[in-house]
């Protein structure tokens, strides 16, 4: 079993690794064009989702409920990410 503090470190490392992907891609192609605010928003979304799932794991006792809540959080993350990226839902968040 992973200790609680180690899970927090793992979450931060995973978020940093995920943010490195577009940063490295920007060095090799013009197709990826993120600015500082894109990295900040992505970091907040990823870290927030990871920390909320960690909170659920620590506070919710029923395993099935933990899974449902974390899947719901991940679904919300993916929908927000897609909306911010291409505006699939047509809300003002996309900037289109």
- Per DSSP, the three-state class of 61 is coil
Asked if residues 75 and 55 have their Cβ atoms less than 8 Å apart, the reply is no
* Tens digit of each residue's pLDDT (9 = 90 or more) over 55-68: 999 999 999 999 99
d(CA 78, CA 87): 12
pLDDT value for 55? 95
Mean pLDDT of the chain: 90
* Tens digit of each residue's pLDDT (9 = 90 or more) over 9-25: 999 999 999 999 999 99
Q: Locate tokens 């064009």: which residue?
A: 33
CA distances (Å), origin 43, targets 20, 34, 38, 84: 11, 13, 8, 13
* Tens digit of each residue's pLDDT (9 = 90 or more) over 28-80: 999 988 999 999 999 999 999 999 999 999 999 999 999 999 999 999 999 99
d(CA 15, CA 11): 6
């Amino acid at each position: 079993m992973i200790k609680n503090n180690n899970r927090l470190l793992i979450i931060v490392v995973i978020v940093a690794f995920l943010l490195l992907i577009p940063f490295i891609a920007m060095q090799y192609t013009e197709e990826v064009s993120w600015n500082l605010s894109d990295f900040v928003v992505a970091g907040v979304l990823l870290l927030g989702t990871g920390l909320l799932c960690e909170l659920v794991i620590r506070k919710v006792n029923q395993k099935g409920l933990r899974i449902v809540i974390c899947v719901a959080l991940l679904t919300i993350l993916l929908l927000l990410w897609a909306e911010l990226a291409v505006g699939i839902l047509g809300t003002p968040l996309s900037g289109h």
